[in-house]
Structure 1
Amino acid sequence: MNYFENDLTALHQALVNHDITSYDLTQQTLAALKETDQKVNGFLALNEEKALATAKAIDEKGIDPDNILAGIPIAIKDNIMTKDLKTTAASKILENFVPVYDATVMQKLYDKDLVVVGKTNMDEFAMGGSTENSAFKTTKNPWNLTKVPGGSSGGSAAVVSAGMVPVALGSDTGGSIRQPASFTGIVGMKPTYGRVSRWGLIAFGSSLDEIGPMTRSVKDNAAVLNVIAGHDVHDGTTVDQPVPDFTAGIDQGVAGLKIGLPKEYLGEGVQAEVKDAILAAADKFRELGATVEEVSLPHSQYGVAAYYIISSSEASSNLQRFDGIRYGVRTQNAKNLDDVYVNSRTEGFGPEVKRRIMLGMYSLSAGYYDAYFKKAAQVRTLMKQDFENVFKDYDLIMGPVAPTTAYGIGEDVTDPLTMYAGDVLSVPVNMAGLPGLSLPAGFAKGLPIGMQLIGQPFAETTIYKAGYAFEQATTFHQEVPTLGGND
């Protein structure tokens, strides 16, 4: 089955018509991804036996004609709990951890008869932007195997981009769905904070994390969010409100829509080709009947420092549970209880995780809390107010997802302007709890460029409509990466 040429609608129709069974589809998917993943390194664990058994049971029950996701293979980022399937968060400290329960999103997927084929690679505990911080392997970008796929959801992005699966789940704390989607030329949605349950997601920054879908098209993305969204009694941060059908009216167009383009998002440090692609996208929206005007988000410049203080502080609290006592790896080099704690963490955590824990502990320590964490929280409020001011007059905000296309594996990005701009573009959405969608908007030297559409809280429907209109008016989403036979 060619996932480059078949979207969820086509796959569903083939299953309903009995042109293929879910078992055969799953079997073909597993066989093909084993071969392709030797080059990409996108998977950490396969779920072969259970996936085939699940698909067989779905076939015996019969494909529900009204359920577009019935019998469809899906891959899951390895920080989302999967019962009886190893979940490591790409960390040595959880190398052999097998959960005894499913995350809420997993139960929602099972209820809709999706077939989980495996767990995808990531930056350890979702800390990083290239998937090079994984304790186990480095995932490669399907468009150029010498480039990173982005992160931290780089494994999920790569397996969708390479055509191994039609759908994957990722998580986004500071751009970890949108940036890899941009680097690999796919569609990635970071939903509104509270739209999707975080119960069963291994926490990084609890006020920032959000689970979201990664697909090859906007409509497919909306169909998956339909399933995973909703209130959850296990997660007190989920919002108790009805979940609309995000695919309904998705083809209504953008006529009359007002879109803001922040001047801060096209500043110094943004690659010329990326800037040109976003300006061309703005012109395309104007052709389609939308108004696009320059706006300002003045406190974006402070977002980097505030984000690292808040996220690291929350991480230092969340990761203290990994102590070598209750679960995960326990050191063999211990003479007393202190040794168990210290050595288990020393041996189990990677360097990036250790850095963020130390930064977080420092920011929360007595004498520094007011100067750092409290100040960062105040900046966060100002950033949220910037968005609220723009949304008084505009329906959406657009801009690049990342300042550059994918960079080389092992390449030390030393340009501080580029690193700064990268954080400026992705972090604000999480700091304000807003929904943000990444979709293909161009290419530079054979590598994808992603455009970001940002909406008001719970305005995913408007974002999807705009994204779908742009997608249908362009051909970027139809391009196939090198592994698919294109260069």
Structure 2
Amino acid sequence: MSIAELRHQLELGNVSARELVDEKLSRISKVDGKINAFLEVTIDRARADAKRIDEARAAGDPLPPLAGIPLAIKDNLCTKGVTTTCSSRMLEHFVPPYESTVTERLWQSGAVLIGKTNLDEFAMGSSTETSAFGATSNPWDPSRVPGGSSGGSAAAVAAGECIAALGSDTGGSIRQPASFCGVVGLKPTYGRVSRWGLVAFASSLDQIGPFSTSVADTVEILQVIAGSDPRDSTSLKVPVPNYSASLSDSLSGLRVGLIKECFEHGGLDPQVKESVLSSADLLQSLGVEVVEVSCPRFNDGIATYYVIAPSEASANLARYDGVKYGYRSEDSENLASMTTRSRTEGFGPEVKRRILIGTYALSAGYVDAYYKKAQKVRTLIRRDFSNAFNKVDLLLTPTSPTTAFLAGSHSSDPVSMYLSDLLTIPANLAGLPAISLPCGFDEDGLPIGLQLIANVLDEPRLLQVAHQFEQAADVLANKPAGQFIP
């Protein structure tokens, strides 16, 4: 059932919040040993929160919009009193004394924390294999990855271990795992959702968003977490619209652009290409005009990103020095040795790789050649998007060049791993909202994701088109038999 349907059943007393929580806890107990989506399951807290919701309903109090809904939270979002590790030994024992803005808004809306989910260490990865606490598996095929870095959240939703989940998206870390796991994943406009309490990776790129099994549920979560926040200087001070108001409006007259550079790329799986182009035909049948557009620098996004993001990571992760908080090596003779050993032992290989890349790009003599040049290309990418949105309302691409790949298949080749974010990164560089939703399956029965990109703050139109496509395609109703963990 959808969040709206569950809320109605709770109000009628046909189901209790405790029953919803116990159902998901039972599901986690049954399947998470195969998936490893959760780093911590908050059993006692979830049941206590559910009890409060049930008592409020029994007393006749009005229920908040997410009352009793069990949610999972990516473990790079601070949760007061609940360990927040970023899947790193560096923060293995870190218990935040404060709540992130987004999770605070969820709890105020009645949502129930069911647990914290696995991720690539410090959100650096595309497969959830760099976690210090074990890789997450894809529920559709446990021999394959769920994507990353928010693979735990995507897998938890796909496997029915929670109603919805939060992730973070720096270069595709919500949309790519949503594509691999056959769920809906939204990256809002940069600044639409507060980043306060999100452990920073790349501050000019990071954005928080929801995973769910439908666009309607995505709208429910976004409605709660969106909005300005005085604690986040990058938060946009603009009103939050009613996102559900236009979901069913006519699509007639809307124009959607196929970015030709995406479909010409040699790394695009033919099955993915065919499925996405078929989805474009379906949109046309719904009254949308589909045209081809060009974003000449779209495929330059990945090279640009892998200068800017590591540079910002190098600065953000400098705070983990073994002094203020986090892992501290005890086997050291002096402060310099302690800092070196703490960072060497506390960070995994991928995090170290990106810190070194970023430090090099920012070093004297190289900052002009790399970091500043990358920022200039970023401006050109934004300009390409701006020109495209002068002609169309939305842009359409595959979410990922391939479906979920086998675990370990890219472990020895970091560049091939980076290329899985080729189609998602440009939206982050431009700060645009984008959504991934299922559009079909490949010959192995693995989900294929369709990406829609909108102009800044045009989430209402993005969600409108995504919702109506989802309703017409009904992709998951025709999922291959035997692929999904029972």
TM-score, normalised with respect to structure 2: 0.96
1:3 corresponding residue in structure 2:
none
Distance 1:391 1:81 in 2: 36
Verify: 1:180 aligned to 2:177, yes or no.
yes
Contact 1:142 1:481 in 2 (8 A): no
2:428 corresponding residue in structure 1:
430
Residues 156-305 of structure 1 aligned to structure 2 (within 5 Å): 156-267=153-264, 268-305=266-303
Task: Give me the CA root mean square deviation.
Answer: 1.8
Distance 1:184 1:104 in 2: 27
Distance 1:341 1:486 in 2: 44
Contact 1:230 1:241 in 2 (8 A): yes
How big is the shift at 1:91? Answer: 0.3
Verify: 1:12 aligned to 2:42, yes or no.
no
Distance 1:477 1:222 in 2: 19
Distance 2:63 2:457 in 1: 25
For residue 29 of structure 2, the aligned residue among 20, 27, 34 is: 34
Distance 2:217 2:250 in 1: 17
Distance 1:333 1:416, change over 3 A: closer
Distance 1:54 1:474 in 2: 37
2:77 corresponding residue in structure 1:
80
How much identity, in percent, do the aligned residues show?
A: 51
Higher mean C-alpha displacement, 172-181 vs 248-257: 248-257
Q: Secondary structure at the match of 1:302?
A: helix
1:454 corresponding residue in structure 2:
453
For residue 358 of structure 1, the aligned residue among 333, 356, 362 is: 356
Contact 2:445 2:483 in 1 (8 A): no
Contact 1:480 1:486 in 2 (8 A): no
Specify the code of the residue in structure 2 equivalent to 1:469. Q
2:475 corresponding residue in structure 1:
476
Specify the code of the residue in structure 1 equivalent to 2:130. N
Specify the code of the residue in structure 2 equivalent to 1:8. I
TM-score, normalised with respect to structure 1: 0.96
Distance 1:317 1:399, change over 3 A: same
Contact 1:471 1:477 in 2 (8 A): no
How big is the shift at 1:481? Answer: 7.9
Distance 1:405 1:130, change over 3 A: same
Q: Secondary structure at the match of 1:207?
A: coil
**Which consecutive unaligned segments of at least 5 residues does structure 2 have?**
none
Q: Secondary structure at the match of 2:297?
A: helix
Distance 2:482 2:250 in 1: 33
Contact 2:65 2:110 in 1 (8 A): no
How big is the shift at 1:253? Answer: 3.5
Q: Secondary structure at the match of 2:448?
A: strand
Contact 2:410 2:417 in 1 (8 A): no
Higher mean C-alpha displacement, 423-432 vs 343-352: 423-432
2:407 corresponding residue in structure 1:
409
Verify: 1:466 aligned to 2:465, yes or no.
yes
1:154 corresponding residue in structure 2:
151
Contact 1:399 1:452 in 2 (8 A): yes
Distance 1:38 1:64, change over 3 A: farther
Contact 2:262 2:299 in 1 (8 A): no
For residue 313 of structure 1, the aligned residue among 306, 311, 314 is: 311
How big is the shift at 1:424? Answer: 2.7
Q: Secondary structure at the match of 1:194?
A: coil
For residue 52 of structure 2, the aligned residue among 54, 57, 62 is: 57
How big is the shift at 1:332? Answer: 1.6
Higher mean C-alpha displacement, 324-333 vs 137-146: 324-333
**Which consecutive unaligned segments of at least 5 residues does structure 1 have?**
1-5
Distance 2:95 2:118 in 1: 16
1:24 corresponding residue in structure 2:
19
* 1:28-83: CA deviation from partner (whole Å, max 9, x where unpaired): 21122122111110000111111111111111122866644111000000000000
Distance 2:121 2:69 in 1: 28
Distance 1:280 1:124 in 2: 36
Distance 1:203 1:485 in 2: 34
Aligned residues: 482
Q: Secondary structure at the match of 2:423?
A: helix
Verify: 1:343 aligned to 2:341, yes or no.
yes
* 1:337-359: CA deviation from partner (whole Å, max 9, x where unpaired): 01111000000000000000000
* 1:357-414: CA deviation from partner (whole Å, max 9, x where unpaired): 0000000011000000000000000000000000011100001000000000111388
2:395 corresponding residue in structure 1:
397
Distance 2:75 2:322 in 1: 20
How big is the shift at 1:121? Answer: 0.2
Specify the code of the residue in structure 2 equivalent to 1:154. G
Specify the code of the residue in structure 2 equivalent to 1:375. K
How big is the shift at 1:421? Answer: 5.5
